[in-house]
């Protein structure tokens, strides 16, 4: 594994020779890129000795660029790891600015980027730093730590860089690069819905829900990393489009239904992660509805078409994976949806004002006919990699069963429902 290790100027930089050793022990080739301020905390000589490679730091170094340009370096990397990442570096990553070699590499690479922040606890809890952290997570980067404990500044709290061995274990895990799943969906098309829908009431109001799109976008990235062509039909969200994914932005449940059916013929696998409105206003008012003297008003709602059920009902439709968003009786309700919508698999999550929706983490249990697997709370990006792995496994089983004429559990579930 080729790792570009970016080091920015924080006191935790003194741990980076140890980090390089831990990465190399796990078989990684490490190319170090330092920012100018990192040199204040750790020497080039020490880092060159442990990495066995000349250190890169200057975007304008003609000699270094001639042997491997920054674009070649961005392509060489299987992983870009930034440790430690200062508050300033997080801000540059969030803003997409690239004044030096390290930040330029981050814009130019298609490799996964992992960031291990380290800073004083008050700085870490500052809303500006937290907003930058959220932005880079939304863009698909992985944040490792920071940990709580005693800090170099003498304070105690969250802000310590995660220990080198733990960082090395995370980035060298084949699941981090998608290597474990790499190629397993090569040649397949995965169609995914994500985000909420908006059902207009009048030109200024609509009915919607709390979905941020994070889960669906993470599934899209993971499916892409597994080698699939990915078509993402997204409701209105404020996330950046995942790299290499074909995007179709929609607003209403009707538009999502139409965009899904426009692309379903090519799809081998359909994953419905969107939180689609079950009902929409029966009438759309052409002009803003005025406040009247009445103390209450009522609005007629009509059912929307169920996109997932309609795809699962197609004669030679794709392998269908639903999500079940439940506030109670999660298992029973999920199983009812698995059977009622005639799905191959359902991913159940508990939702509420502080669960499931809009968070970076989720807790899910996956059900397929006769079996289930639960996952502890984890980052949506990590969960998505595992979920795509299970989907690829189950899809392969159904393909084998169909090719061999064996009536597997998935086939029999469909049979039970009369198809």
Q: Does 135 bind ligand PMT (CB under 6 A)?
A: no
Q: Which stretch binds ligand PMT (CB under 6 A): 121-129, 150-158, 351-359, 383-391?
A: 351-359
What residue spans of 84-201 are helical by DSSP H?
87-95, 101-108, 121-125, 127-138, 164-172, 174-177
Under 8 Å CB-to-CB from 212, ≥6 apart: which residues? Answer: 195, 237, 238, 239, 357, 358
> Residue 380 has which token pair?
């949506």
Residue 137 within binding range of ligand PMT, rule CB under 6 A: no
State the catalytic residue, choosing from 106, 153, 320, 365: 153
- 337 binds ligand PMT per the rule CB under 6 A: yes
Report d(CA 239, CA 192) in Å as an integer.
15
CA 39, CA 36: separation in Å to the nearest integer? 6
Residue 349 found at the interface with ligand PMT (CB under 6 A): yes
The reply on whether position 304 binds ligand PMT by CB under 6 A is yes
Q: Should residue 325 be labelled a site residue for ligand PMT when binding is judged by CB under 6 A? A: yes
Yes or no: say if 337 and 353 are a contact pair by the CB < 8 Å rule: no
189, 212, 234, 381: which one contacts ligand PMT (CB under 6 A)? 212
C-alpha distances in Å from residue 386, one per residue of 79, 175, 179, 195, 379: 19, 8, 12, 20, 11
How long, in residues, is the chain? 419
Work out the number of other CB atoms within 10 angstroms of the CB of residue 352.
Answer: 12
Q: Which is nearer to ligand PMT, 103 or 193 (CB)?
A: 193
Count of positions on this chain that bind ligand PMT (CB under 6 A): 28
Determine, following the binding rule CB under 6 A, whether residue 324 of this chain makes contact with ligand PMT: yes
Residue closer to ligand PMT, measured from CB, 88 or 358: 358
The DSSP letter of residue 161 is: P
**To the nearest whole angstrom, how small is the minimum distance from the Cβ of residue 274 to ligand PMT?**
5
Name the residue with tokens 């609509």. Answer: 206
Query: In terms of CB distance, is 75 or 350 closer to ligand PMT?
Result: 350
Q: Angle, nearest 10°, between helix axes 214-225 and 380-404?
A: 60
Q: Does 192 bind ligand PMT (CB under 6 A)?
A: no
Q: How far is the CB of 305 from ligand PMT (least distance, A)?
A: 6
Which DSSP state fits 37? G
Q: Which of 114, 273, 383, 388 binds ligand PMT (CB under 6 A)?
A: 273
Residues 75-134 that bind ligand PMT (CB under 6 A): none
Question: Is 153 a residue of the active site?
Answer: yes
**Of the listed pieces 28-36, 205-213, 369-377, 401-409, which binds ligand PMT according to CB under 6 A?**
205-213
Alpha-carbon distance of 416 to 419, in angstroms, equals 8
User: Binding to ligand PMT by residue 366, rule CB under 6 A?
Assistant: no
Question: Given candidates 78, 100, 199, 306, which one binds ligand PMT under the rule CB under 6 A?
Answer: 306
Query: Catalytic amino acids?
Result: 153
Residue ranges that bind ligand PMT, judged by CB under 6 A: 193, 211-216, 253, 272-276, 278, 304, 306-308, 322-325, 337, 349, 351, 356-358
């Amino acid at each position: 594994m080729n790792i570009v290790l970016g080091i920015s100027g924080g006191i935790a930089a003194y741990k980076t020779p140890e980090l390089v050793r831990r990465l190399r022990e796990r078989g990684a080739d490490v190319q170090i890129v330092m920012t100018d301020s990192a040199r204040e905390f750790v020497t080039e000589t020490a880092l060159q000795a442990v990495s066995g490679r000349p250190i890169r730091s200057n975007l304008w170094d003609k000699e270094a660029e001639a042997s491997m340009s920054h674009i070649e370096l961005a392509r060489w990397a299987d992983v870009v790891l930034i440790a430690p990442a200062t508050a300033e570096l997080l801000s540059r990553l969030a803003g997409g600015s690239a004044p030096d070699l390290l930040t330029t590499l981050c814009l130019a690479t298609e490799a996964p980027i992992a960031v291990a922040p380290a800073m004083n606890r008050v700085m870490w809890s500052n809303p500006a730093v937290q907003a930058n952290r959220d932005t880079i997570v939304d863009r698909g980067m992985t944040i490792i730590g920071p940990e709580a404990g005693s800090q170099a500044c003498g304070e105690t709290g969250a802000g310590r860089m995660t220990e080198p061995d733990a960082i090395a274990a995370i980035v060298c895990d084949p699941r981090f690069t998608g290597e474990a799943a790499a190629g397993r969906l090569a040649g397949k098309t995965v169609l995914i819905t994500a985000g909420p829908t908006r059902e207009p009431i009048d030109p200024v109001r609509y009915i919607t829900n709390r979905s941020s799109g994070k889960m669906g976008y993470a599934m899209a990235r993971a499916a892409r990393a597994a080698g699939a062509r990915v078509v993402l039909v997204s409701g209105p969200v404020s996330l950046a489009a995942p790299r290499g994914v074909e995007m179709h932005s929609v607003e209403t449940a009707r538009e999502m239904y139409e965009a899904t059916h426009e692309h379903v013929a090519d799809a081998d696998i359909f994953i419905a992660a969107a939180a689609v409105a079950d009902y929409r206003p029966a009438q759309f008012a052409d002009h803003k509805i005025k406040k009247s003297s009445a103390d209450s008003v009522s609005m007629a709602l009509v059912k929307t078409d169920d996109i997932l059920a309609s795809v699962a009902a197609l004669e030679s439709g794709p392998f269908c994976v639903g999500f079940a968003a439940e506030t109670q009786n999660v298992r029973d309700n999920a199983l009812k949806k698995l059977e009622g919508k005639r799905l191959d698999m359902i991913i159940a999550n508990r939702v509420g004002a502080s669960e499931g929706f809009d968070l970076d983490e989720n807790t899910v249990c996956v059900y397929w006919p006769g079996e289930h697997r639960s996952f502890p709370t984890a980052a949506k990006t990590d969960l998505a990699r595992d979920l795509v792995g299970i989907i690829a496994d189950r899809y392969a089983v159904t393909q084998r069963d169909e090719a061999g004429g064996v009536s597997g559990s998935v086939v029999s579930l469909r049979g039970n429902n009369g198809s």
